[in-house]
Every structure is written in structure tokens, then in C-alpha cells.
Structure 1
């Protein structure tokens, strides 16, 4: 039997007339009568009988009206439980990130989520090998970096949540001739050897900007995926590097960093999500905690 037709029968038991039911439901009396006739066929017994100029419920009709009331209560209870569930963050949330993003965010993010009914499952990805937007079908939250906020992310219909703008600095040995400078310009580093990263990553684009600014080619002697290898090579005097400010171990093992002025030397860090997933309370909770942690990281380094 159709739940909506049972509701019509219940209304009739409470309101007493087809006309009153029709007024309450904003339909015609004939529509109400038609629904009752269909329900009678479904029930297999008469549910209403003539009474004066109207109708009254039969004993079977009264019993089925009580069933309709019990069913309405059960439906309201189920809907209330469902509303409570969807409004309360709970369950597993998967997050993937690039390595230095994980280093910056994950320890503090997990602390922020302690006590919540959300289990965060984290992995990292090699930035040189994947298009982070391609990971959104398989992960609830994808933390990605880019030289700028990629227009393609929006073109693909993704929800893009900006997290931070992180400066990219020149890394050099402590005993380098430029180590005493407070800042460095593209012209200052002309003629230097470089320890680079794979081409087309945000760090490599800084070298392209140096070439565009000075008109001089840069000599990239080696390229590495892992920033810790770049740090070790720079500290050992094999060349300069472009490294992220917030995770580079400045003044550790003979390495120092200096801001690069005169060009835009930064990367944008964002969370990427499919828009439907952003409607889940558990995912919203993780994204909010991620934004708070990103602000805390930036503030701890004096970033604006």
C-alpha cells in the first residue's frame, strides 16, 4: 500500500469528512475520493461507507488508519535519526597530499580532530607523477600545490578551498658569498649552479622567472623529487636551490634560506574536493580543521 494514500486515510479519520481532507491537502474532493478507492483496492476490503451526506470509516478503515498513524510516527522517527546522523560529523575521511604538505599539516590536523567521531585516513603522493585533480574521485580531500590556483580545477567542477600562499626561498650554503644578504634578487644569482626539481613543478617555474627577468640561462646541475636531497646537496655546496619556506630546515647542517625579491616566488596550497563530498559533515569538519591548521602554520612563520 502506498504511504501517501495511507496518509489520506489517516487524515479522514482525524478530520471526519472528504471535504475537510481536501481543504487540508489543497486538492479536490474528487481527488481524495479517488485515492481512497485505490487504497480500498490495495487493502482488499471496504474502508469507508456512506454516512449521511458523507462517508465514515469502516472498522477495517479505522484499524488501517491506526496503522497509518503508527507508520507516520515510524517515518518521522527514522527521518529524525537520519537528520541527526547527517548533521553530526562521523565516519572515515580519506585525505591525500604532497609530501611537504603532509609535513606541514598532518601532525597538527590529527591533533585538531582528536575526540571527533571522524577517522582521518592519510596518504601522500609524488607531485611530479600525478595530476592532483585526478585524485579527487578516489579521495575525499586532496591537498595540492600549484604556482597559482589552477583554472583547470574550477573548469572540472571541483570545489577549491584555498589554504595558504607559501613563499619559495633561495637555499644556499651558510658560507656562500651571498649568505650575508637579507634578500636576493634574480640578478644576484646569475651564474650560479642550481639543484633543481622536475620540470613544470612550482619550484622549477621560479627558475624560469629568473631567466625571464635577467635574460640569462640558469645551469641546473641535478634534479630531485625529494626536497631533503636538495637540502643536502645545497648544504654540501653543489649549487643553490628553490625550497619552500615553512618546511626547509634553515640553519641545519649548514643551510640557509633567503627571500627572493623582484619576482613572484610562492606557491598556492589548496584543498580540492568533488562538490558533492563537500556536503558531508565529516568532510566539512576535516576541511575546516585543515584551514585552521594552515593558518596556524603560516602564523608560526610570520606569514601574512
Structure 2
């Protein structure tokens, strides 16, 4: 049942003649009559009957016209609510984040959202492989993602991608490890080390791939975990070395970080959105807040971490 034909029936109920409906809707009388006949065929009831030289609604026509009015009111209310929704940063925004991204961004983001009346945030932690981040945009307004290559990782996805920051990836060493005395480490330094790695399809794996390419020695990976907290625990207990993000590693006194030089060791943190979601003022506000948080994190990290090469 076409809503536009229902609207013509409603107009006929209110205006009383096909000619009046035609004028109001910028149609010809024959076009109005044709559409009303199609509507009758769709529902299987006569909606009009002859009265003198004109027509009037049947009982079924009057009932359906009342329904058409209810539908018009509902549509108008929905349009009004939608206009308010898209014109102001309000409503609930959903966000998925990888765990260390949530650690970095969520405290400041939640504080910012709390200061905006009518705006709420529902966040969830997810830890997919590289390809899985794009799929999360089907269920979330915003997806915090990371990759070795930045926005290029999602170039063909059709998504709106905003790069927030580049976080260095350092080598995590147990306290007292011979390399802990270095101000930085190189691929050659790491030959023969036992590694606590990540699943093969996770972004950090790319660093180990580059180490193998440069040193021509495959890293000896003894364990693989997606959870950096497990990785940190194993490094701290002396079971291997690992790649950890500089700003989000929660280090025990038994772990030391050293920069890795001679290899591109970094992750690009981006926010992914479906293009229609990206147009919402509430989503745009959160993206701006995420960018401000990223700048704050970068400034704090640069001040606290001076590398002497």
C-alpha cells in the first residue's frame, strides 16, 4: 500500500472533490482518479462511490482515510524528531574500540560526552583482526581501529576514515635483559630472541615480518596472544620479548621499553564510520573529541619519552 496514494485519499476526505485534490497536489484530475483506483485494487474494497456529478467516500474509504491521517501524523512526528536528531549533537552514539584504544581514549571521551545535555555514549571493547574492524561499522556508529598502514588499510571499504594518531611500537624487555642497557634496539640486536607474538592476522605481526625481512632471520615466536596484558605478564616473568604500544603498555617494574630503529614500528589509530553515520552532529562531535584526545596523548607521550639515538 503506497503512502502517497493514502495521502490522496486523505486529501479527498478533507477537500471533498477530485478537482480540489488535483489542484492541491499539482496533478490532473484524471491522475488523481487513476491513483485512487489503484489503491482500491490494492486493498480490494471500493473506496469511493458516485454522488450526483461527483464522488464521495464509502464507509471503507472513510476508515482508510482516518488511517491515512494517523500515518501522516506519525510521519510528520518522525521527521520532526529526525530533524532535531541531525541538527544537534544529541541521542546515543555507539562505539567499538580495541582494548588499548579504549584505555587511551574512553576516559576523556566519556567526560566530554557527560558535558553535553542529551548526548550519551555506549562503548564496547572488541579485538578483531585487521579486516574485522570494517565489519564492526555495521553495528556501531564509531569504530576505533588500528593498522600498520593507516587509512590505506580501509581504502576500498567505502567507509569514512579519520586518522587520529600514530603510536610508536617499542620492544618490551624483562628487567635485567642485556638489551635493556641499550637506548634503542635494532633488528640485528633481536636475532635469536624468544618472542611473545600476536595472532598472525593481527596488525603487530607486521613488525615481526619486517624484522625477518631485514635481518633475514625468522623471529622465534614461542607464544601468541591478542591480549597485551598476558603478553606483558610473560615478558615481565622473563619468558620472552614482545612488541608493545608505547603509550598504552601498563608496565610493571619488571618491564622496560626500548625504541626499535631500522624498522617501521608504529600503528595508525583511526576511527571508522559508515558515511551516513558520519553526517550526524553527535558523531561529528565525538570524532572532534577523539582528535583532541589524540593530540593530548601525543603531547604527553612526547614530553615523557625522549629518545637519545
Shorter-chain TM-score range: 0.7 to 0.9
Aligned twin of 1:13: none
Deviation, 1:243, is: 0.5
Change (3 A) 1:238 1:275: same
Aligned twin of 1:28: none
Deviation, 1:149, is: 2.2
The answer to whether the 8 Å contact 1:133/1:153 transfers is yes
Change (3 A) 1:279 1:214: same
- Give TM-score, length-normalised by structure 2: 0.71
Aligned twin of 1:295: 295
* 1:91-170 paired onto structure 2 within 5 Å: 91-116=91-116, 117-128=118-129, 131-149=132-150, 151=152, 153-170=154-171
Distance 2:269 2:98 in 1: 10
Deviation, 1:266, is: 0.3
Change (3 A) 1:234 1:90: same
Distance 2:28 2:130 in 1: 66
1:272 aligns with 2:264: no
- Residues 90-116 of structure 1 show CA distances to partners (whole Å, capped at 9, x for unaligned) of 101100011111111111110111221
Aligned twin of 1:26: none
- Residues 39-70 of structure 1 show CA distances to partners (whole Å, capped at 9, x for unaligned) of xx9xx9xxxxxxxxxxxxxxxxxxxxxxxxxx
Give secondary structure in 1 for the equivalent of 2:207. Answer: helix
The answer to whether the 8 Å contact 2:167/2:266 transfers is yes
The answer to whether the 8 Å contact 2:196/2:241 transfers is yes
Deviation, 1:221, is: 0.8
The answer to whether the 8 Å contact 1:169/1:259 transfers is yes
- Residues 173-230 of structure 1 show CA distances to partners (whole Å, capped at 9, x for unaligned) of 1201111111111111111111111113221111111111111121111111210111
- Give TM-score, length-normalised by structure 1: 0.72
Larger Rg: 1
* 1:201-216 paired onto structure 2 within 5 Å: 201-216=202-217
Change (3 A) 1:283 1:218: same
Change (3 A) 1:79 1:99: closer
The answer to whether the 8 Å contact 1:128/1:225 transfers is no
The answer to whether the 8 Å contact 2:151/2:162 transfers is no
Aligned twin of 1:227: 228
Distance 1:300 1:259 in 2: 17
Deviation, 1:127, is: 2.7
Distance 1:134 1:94 in 2: 14
Corresponding pairs, count: 250
1:285 aligns with 2:285: yes
Aligned twin of 2:19: none
Aligned twin of 2:200: 199
User: Structure 2, unaligned stretches of length 5 or more?
Assistant: 1-6, 12-21, 34-50, 52-77
Distance 1:225 1:81 in 2: 42
Give secondary structure in 2 for the equivalent of 1:113. Answer: helix
Distance 1:133 1:33 in 2: 47
